[in-house]
């Protein structure tokens, strides 16, 4: 069963999210603070996804997201906040969140986004368990190991979030092809995703920091101005 952590200090909102997750056939684990959430994240089996409110007592949701990402690149993370400012969305995505939703929100849309995240995590777990043996994708000095869900650069592993890994899959399967932002968005976040296309740009910046020798002068993830991005060996 898919396990989702809900970190929200407002009991009515937390309980409403948890109830709907359970009605959708998932296991919901609740915490009213980041400090209460951290021990829950250490339990096994671990959580497949986490919904983090930004305005928490003590450690806020951004700091919690950063803390989680230091040790777990695979869990799906959705930042949930009443703040709708552009800089808050960019900050949340830049520190490792996979998605960002602004209150008030549609419960059905939140569930759809959670399910999409969990499908990515589930695909990763299935590969690690040996349910499928996909071939590695090779591009120059890079190898995308689809069994371990890791990117190798000259033999050295680069840890990627599930979103980052899927973007790299899309690039490796379309080398030298200019991919419009909307295609990347639909290919990674799904056909029914209606979020801001800027989520692609933020993840590309994050990928360049991990992949490129000089992120400010990328040699592999190239910008196609006014269109999207292209991968070059």
3 state SS for 70-101:
HHCCCCEEEEEECCCCHHHHHHHHHCCCCEEE
The pTM of this model reads: 0.79
Task: Name the pLDDT band for 132 (thresholds 50, 70, 90).
Answer: low
Residue 148 has pLDDT above 80, yes or no: no
The two structure tokens encoding residue 207 = 């990928």
**CB crowding 71-106: b at 16 or more within 10 Å, else e:** ebbbbbbbbbbebeeeebbbbbbbbbbbbbbeeeee
Mean pLDDT, rounded, of the chain = 88
Closest to 41 measured CA to CA, from 12, 69, 18: 69
Q: How far apart are CA 217 and CA 199, in angstroms?
A: 21
C-beta neighbour count of 135 within 10 angstroms:
9
pLDDT of residue 90: 84
Asked if domains 3-127 and 133-231 share a fold, the reply is no
For residue 131, what pLDDT is reported?
47
Q: Which fold, 133-231?
A: Arc Repressor Mutant, subunit A (1.10.10)
CATH 3.20.20.105 describes domain 3-127: no
pLDDT at 115 (0 to 100): 87
Say which residue, 117 or 37, is predicted with more confidence: 37
Q: Give the model's pLDDT for residue 195.
A: 73
Contact 125, 231 (CB under 8 A): no
Lookup: tokens for 170: 């899309």
Cis peptide before 45 (omega within 30 of 0): yes
Q: For residue 32, what pLDDT is reported? A: 96
Which is more confident, 193 or 1?
Answer: 1
- Domain range list for the chain: 3-127, 133-231
Give the per-residue pLDDT at 146.
79
Q: Backbone phi, then psi, for 28, in 5-degree steps?
A: -110, 130
How much is the pLDDT for 128? 46
User: Which candidate, 80, 70, 58, places its Cα nearest to that of 5?
Assistant: 80
State pLDDT tens for residues 57-70.
999 999 999 999 99
The answer, yes or no, to whether residue 11 has pLDDT greater than 60, is: yes
Could you please report the per-residue DSSP string of 109-158?
Answer: HHHHHHHHHHHHHHHHHHHHTTS--PPPEEETTEEEETTTTEEEETTEEE
Q: 77-81, 143-147, 167-171, 208-212: which has the minimum mean pLDDT?
A: 143-147
């Amino acid at each position: 069963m898919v396990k989702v952590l809900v970190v929200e200090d407002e009991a009515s909102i937390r309980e409403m999210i948890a109830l709907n997750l359970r009605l959708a056939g998932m296991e919901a684990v609740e915490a009213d603070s980041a400090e209460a959430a951290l021990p829950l994240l250490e339990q096994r089996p671990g959580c497949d996804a986490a919904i983090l409110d930004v305005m928490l007592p003590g450690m806020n949701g951004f700091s919690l997201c950063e803390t989680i990402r230091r040790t777990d690149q695979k869990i799906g993370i959705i930042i949930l906040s009443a703040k709708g400012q552009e800089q808050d969305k960019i900050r949340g995505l830049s520190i490792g969140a996979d998605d960002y939703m602004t209150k008030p929100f549609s419960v059905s849309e939140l569930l759809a986004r959670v399910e999409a995240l969990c499908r990515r995590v589930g695909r990763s777990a299935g590969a690690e368990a040996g349910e499928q043996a996909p071939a590695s994708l090779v591009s120059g000095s890079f190898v995308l190991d689809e069994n371990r869900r890791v990117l190798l650069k000259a033999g050295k592993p680069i840890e990627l979030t599930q979103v980052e890994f899927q973007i790299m899959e899309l690039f490796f399967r379309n080398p030298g092809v200019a991919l419009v932002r909307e295609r990347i968005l639909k290919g990674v976040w799904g056909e029914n995703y209606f979020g801001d296309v800027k989520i692609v740009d933020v993840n590309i910046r994050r990928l360049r920091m991990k992949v490129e020798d000089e992120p400010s002068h990328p040699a592999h993830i190239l910008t196609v101005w006014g269109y999207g991005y292209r991968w070059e060996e």
